[in-house]
Amino acid sequence: MTANDYLTPLALELIERARAMAPRLAERARAAEDAGLVQKETIAEMKAAGFFKVLQPKRWGGYEMDPRVFYSVQMALAEGCMATAWIYGVVGVHNWQLPLFPDQAQQDVWANDSTILTASTYMPTGKADKVDGGYNFSGRWSWSSGVEHCEWILLGGLLPKKDGSGAIEHCTFLLPKADFQIVHNFDVLGLRATGSHDIVVENAFVPEHRTHRTNDHSDAGCPGRETNPGWLYKIPFTQVFQRAVSTACIGATNGAIASFRLRAASFVGKHGSKTAEDVNAQLAVSEAMMATDQLQLVLMRNYQRIVDCARTGERMPVEERLMQRAQSSQVPKICAEAVNEIMRACAAGGVYKSNPIERIFRDLHVARGHIANNTDTYARAHGGVMLGLPNMDPFV
């Protein structure tokens, strides 16, 4: 198998559709930010283009593709609007996790309409009390991106491990829209159009089949593999999800580079000099291009290894998994630093909201705040193991 065997004719078509959509997303980006919501027509167009089918099982009408197709689509969308690409990442990736749930949960969501979307917020703040057949579930969660476009939600909580050890583990609970409330409070610096509002659940019943032990990668922990036996659903949870909240940053940075190059070609500052002749501008654009080129190469190389392990059943060493997690978390930091320099090269005129780079600058800095993008934590976790300490990351 070659490194590019995942680029089937359909994969190439999907990526091209995303590139073709990016200019429309750029035109809508300001209005989406002002409204605090990516337009419903955008979500409908993404559904019609087949983007949400990339990681969905074939038995549910999906394409069941290599994750590199999913992230290539995400990067292409982000060149037009990072908030739209962010929603695509964090909502679209649920079409990979739901197939790990018992088949009845999949039926609950997709039996009548396989295009139904699911939101999430995985922070383990939910309180689950065991009752006959399931759990009484309550709590409040923040940062549920794209929730207003979704009919179901995945929420984090803690449950005792089934091994009787008394230890607790992360669990994902699946709830329908009727069982949760959206608290519209997402008034923030960037990624405003993601509408990442708070979620409240008050004593909802969650049947046992709508729960998933998030970090149990065994067949017993992922009963959906009985009906979805493909290699795609054998990848460990974190190796798929960690990139859902960092990859849009690469595409957005490429969008900033394109906008800056267009601006620099004709912009003349108040002092009469052209931006293209500014040595700071020249350095900023070149360094940004080198950064995204390197980040894309690492992304694709790492997924080649992830896919190979999933296909063969090889268990990747913890040191390698920790390195990949650290590399994913570093993406927003590197992209934000690159766009910082591009913004500086835009000079005073660049701070107006008519400059799309200004929005990308803010979006990238908010993306850095996601817990999965805490690069210092994950770099230290990897470094500690490399120096002989035990792995302390339960998701790896």
Per-residue model confidence (pLDDT) at position 278: 87
Backbone torsion region of residue 301, taken as left when φ is above 0, otherwise alpha when ψ lies between -120 and 50, otherwise beta:
alpha
Query: Span 202-220, mean pLDDT?
Result: 95
Per-residue model confidence (pLDDT) at position 198: 98
DSSP letter string, 128-141: EEEETTEEEEEEEE
Burial of 215 (0-12, 13-18, 19+ CB in 10 A): middle
CB 188 within 8 A of CB 366: yes
Domains of the chain: 9-98 (1.10.540.10), 116-228 (2.40.110.10), 237-386 (1.20.140.10)
In the predicted structure, residue 348 carries a pLDDT above the cut 90: no
Contacts for 359-363: CB closer than 8 Å, 24+ residues apart? 359/29, 359/30, 359/33, 359/82, 359/190, 360/82, 360/252, 360/253, 360/255, 360/256, 360/259, 361/190, 361/256, 361/336, 362/189, 362/190, 362/191, 363/82, 363/83, 363/86, 363/190, 363/191, 363/252
Q: Binning pLDDT at 50, 70 and 90, where does residue 396 land?
A: confident
Per-residue model confidence (pLDDT) at position 25: 98
pTM for the full model? 0.96
Q: Binning pLDDT at 50, 70 and 90, where does residue 267 land?
A: low
CB 83 within 8 A of CB 192: yes
Q: How far does the chain reach from its first CA to its final CA, in angstroms?
A: 27
277 φ, ψ (degrees, to nearest 5): -90, -5
C-beta neighbour count of 344 within 10 angstroms: 12
Per-residue model confidence (pLDDT) at position 2: 63
Q: Extract the runs of DSSP E, i.e. beta strands, from the chain.
A: 118-131, 134-144, 152-160, 168-176, 181-183, 197-207, 211-213
Backbone torsion region of residue 191, taken as left when φ is above 0, otherwise alpha when ψ lies between -120 and 50, otherwise beta:
left
Query: Span 145-171, mean pLDDT?
Result: 93
Burial of 42 (0-12, 13-18, 19+ CB in 10 A): buried
Q: Using one digit for the tens of pLDDT, what is the confidence trace for 29-54? A: 999 999 999 999 999 999 999 999 99
